[in-house]
Amino acid sequence: MTEDQLKLYEQWKDVESRLRGTVIQYSDIQTAKELRPRVWEFRSHLSVAERFEVGSSLEKSLKEIFDRKYPPDSWPLSKQWATRAIHRASGGFNFILECLEYIHRGGTDPAYSRPAYILLSYHSELLLESYLLLKEEHTKKTKEELEALLKGKHNHDLKDLADKIGKESLVVLGIKTVGSETKNDLKRYVMTLANGDKIIVEDSVTVRYDFKYDRRRDIDPDESERMRSEVGHLLEMTNKVMQICSSR
């Protein structure tokens, strides 16, 4: 094999190994799809054992991944829900980053800012709900009990969710406090991190129905840059929760 082919083969083995792990990233699946035909082209240069391994990996692993029930039914319902929620949060935060990179790239914008606020609010809620579901006390709860835990308007309140999780557990995610405040008569939440950084998240109900209020948010000329930093922090938390899901 050439040096480039060897590098490609090592890249394939790395991504294939990650795909066989418990936490599956959508980006790894896409990478595997892209690498598959390229690796298959030079299979004749591999030893018999390596060729068998590559053949097995290329022909079976993706199908096994797509066919595999994940999260498995053997897990507690709370953990199944937490796993689904945190994977949705991960995809959502990554989508917001793409929007901030290619669409909403400047300051506060009447067309682009509000959709970004709504997405950030929803996926922040998913992040905290997932983490809440992983608390030991919810392991044996029924579907009805878990629905009651997550029910309705109450869980759009990020401070209320944070209070349910508890300060000690929030520290694991790097969160010091979650508070609510009203600015220009519009409700929002401020997550203060252990390192002193802050994440501003608009209230889910207020931001969706702010047409009812004759109020405007302050203009932030660095909004997209600030939000990119905030989403980066939220993705770090998301990855921590994903690891907790896979390790229990």
Q: Which of 28-32, 55-59, 204-208 has the highest mean pLDDT?
A: 204-208
pLDDT digits (tens, 9 = 90+) for 134-187: 999 999 999 999 999 998 656 789 999 999 999 999 999 999 999 999 999 999
Tokens 């004759």 label which residue? 214
Helix (H) / strand (E) element for 179: namely: strand 175-183
The C-alpha atoms of residue 140 and residue 113 are separated, in whole angstroms, by: 41
* Cα gap 99→97, rounded to integer Å: 5
**Residue linked to tokens 């790097």:** 174
Spatial neighbors of 148 by CB under 8 A, at least 6 apart, are: none
Provide mean pLDDT across the span 108-127.
95
Q: Which residue has the higher pLDDT, 85 or 17?
A: 85
Which ranges in the chain belong to alpha helices (H)?
3-19, 26-41, 48-56, 62-67, 77-102, 113-133, 143-149, 158-165, 167-172, 204-208, 223-247
| pTM exceeds 0.85 | no
More confident residue, 240 or 33: 240
